[in-house]
């Protein structure tokens, strides 16, 4: 396990980084072209949107379909409708130029001339960064459009993103075709979470070997996680893969009281008994072994004094209300489960 000495994605002070400060720290964006695909493959970077899919494999698929069909589209997914997560909105507020660099690297690598930043909420720092990037950077960069997204829970799923950009309701659709085959305007479409693109911007500048200096051999690099609930100093942390859940909670000031359980991954995640969870290693393999994942990058600590049934009732109720409602299990089954669990939580069943 290679530990994290200092944050990679987050600035040392929690203030928005303007273009001058960004260039002073990272330098101008180098032209790397398709060689970036090889570097991403060597880096082992996986997506940070929840599915942890290998980035290089996804990008190569888009480039391959584009070479046979039509010019591709790049979409940066900044929709953060997971109620317990703040990672993407914080990254966009503090390091907007790092994300914008990632979008440009992606467009260059797959040959796209259209790029979209898909957001449910914009902030002043991001809008200033976009204006500065399009005014002060050299020519040849792809113009980045902003498209607003609804705050529905399902609006950030990649087929829902494509539907929204195609003028339809932001709901998931049946696949195939997947977005990399036929997405926005039926063109091959690369959809990546904004944190993923920020990591890409670092790999493009500093290389795969640098990226692998922290984390583990099979889960290299870092990830942004929101530590919340029953901890003394809740908030956003950047962790190196391979550190334990206990170390991560302790970095957030430790439990505010005796912990009973931990919700890992967010509302679509997994409850773990706190007694056995503290030594759990935060990497893809270890989490899969216990039926969990980092998902949206959420670590929510539930105090032993709280009611796990009531908390689960609240989460299931939210998911039932936010469901796309396009199939039987979602439109009928999930509300029924929610109603029954609510009765249990109230002591009626």
The per-residue pLDDT for range 124-136, each reduced to its tens digit, is 889 999 999 888 8
pLDDT attached to residue 1: 64
* Percentages of the chain per state (helix, strand, coil), in multiples of 5: 45, 15, 40
The per-residue pLDDT for range 268-320, each reduced to its tens digit, is 999 999 989 999 999 999 999 999 999 999 999 999 999 999 999 999 999 99
Q: For residue 156, what is the DSSP state?
A: G
Model confidence at 4, pLDDT cuts 50, 70, 90, reads: confident
Query: Is 80 exceeded by the pLDDT of residue 139?
Result: no
For the entire predicted model, the pTM comes to 0.95
The per-residue pLDDT for range 326-342, each reduced to its tens digit, is 999 999 999 999 999 99
Whole-angstrom Cα Rg for the chain: 20
Model confidence at 3, pLDDT cuts 50, 70, 90, reads: low
Task: Write 134-143 long-range contacts (CB < 8 A, 24+).
Answer: 136/19, 137/19, 137/29, 141/104, 142/74, 142/103, 142/104, 142/107, 142/112, 142/113, 142/114, 142/115, 143/115
The per-residue pLDDT for range 172-186, each reduced to its tens digit, is 998 899 999 999 999
């Amino acid at each position: 396990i290679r530990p994290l000495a200092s944050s990679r994605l987050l600035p040392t002070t929690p203030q928005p980084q303007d273009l001058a400060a960004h260039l002073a720290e990272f330098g101008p964006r180098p032209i790397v072209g398709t060689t970036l695909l090889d570097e991403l493959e060597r880096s082992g970077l996986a997506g940070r949107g929840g599915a942890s899919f290998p980035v290089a494999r996804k990008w190569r698929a888009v480039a391959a379909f584009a070479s046979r069909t039509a010019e591709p589209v790049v979409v940066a997914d900044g929709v953060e409708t997971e109620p317990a997560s703040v990672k993407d909105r914080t990254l966009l507020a503090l390091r907007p130029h790092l994300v914008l660099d990632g979008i440009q690297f992606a467009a260059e690598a797959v040959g796209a001339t259209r790029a979209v930043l898909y957001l449910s909420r914009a902030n002043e720092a991001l809008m200033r960064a976009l204006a500065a990037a399009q005014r002060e950077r050299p020519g040849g960069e792809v113009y980045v459009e902003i498209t607003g997204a609804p705050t529905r829970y399902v609006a950030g799923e990649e087929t829902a993103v494509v539907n929204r950009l195609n003028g339809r309701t932001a709901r998931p659709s049946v696949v195939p075709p997947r977005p990399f085959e036929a997405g926005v305007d039926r063109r091959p479409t690369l959809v990546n979470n904004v944190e993923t693109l920020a990591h890409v911007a670092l790999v493009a500048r500093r290389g795969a070997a640098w990226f692998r200096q922290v984390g583990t051999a099979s889960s290299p690099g870092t990830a942004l996680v929101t530590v919340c609930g029953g901890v003394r100093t809740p908030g956003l942390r950047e962790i190196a893969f391979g550190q334990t859940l206990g170390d991560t909670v302790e970095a957030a000031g430790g439990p505010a009281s005796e912990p009973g359980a931990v919700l890992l991954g967010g509302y679509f995640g997994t409850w773990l008994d706190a007694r056995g969870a503290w030594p759990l290693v935060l990497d893809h393999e270890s989490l899969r072994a216990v039926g969990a994942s980092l998902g949206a990058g959420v670590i929510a600590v539930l105090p032993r004094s709280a009611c796990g049934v009531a908390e689960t009732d609240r989460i299931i109720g939210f998911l039932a209300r936010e469901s796309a409602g396009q199939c039987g299990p979602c439109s009928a089954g999930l509300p029924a489960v929610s109603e029954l669990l609510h009765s249990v939580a109230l002591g009626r069943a």
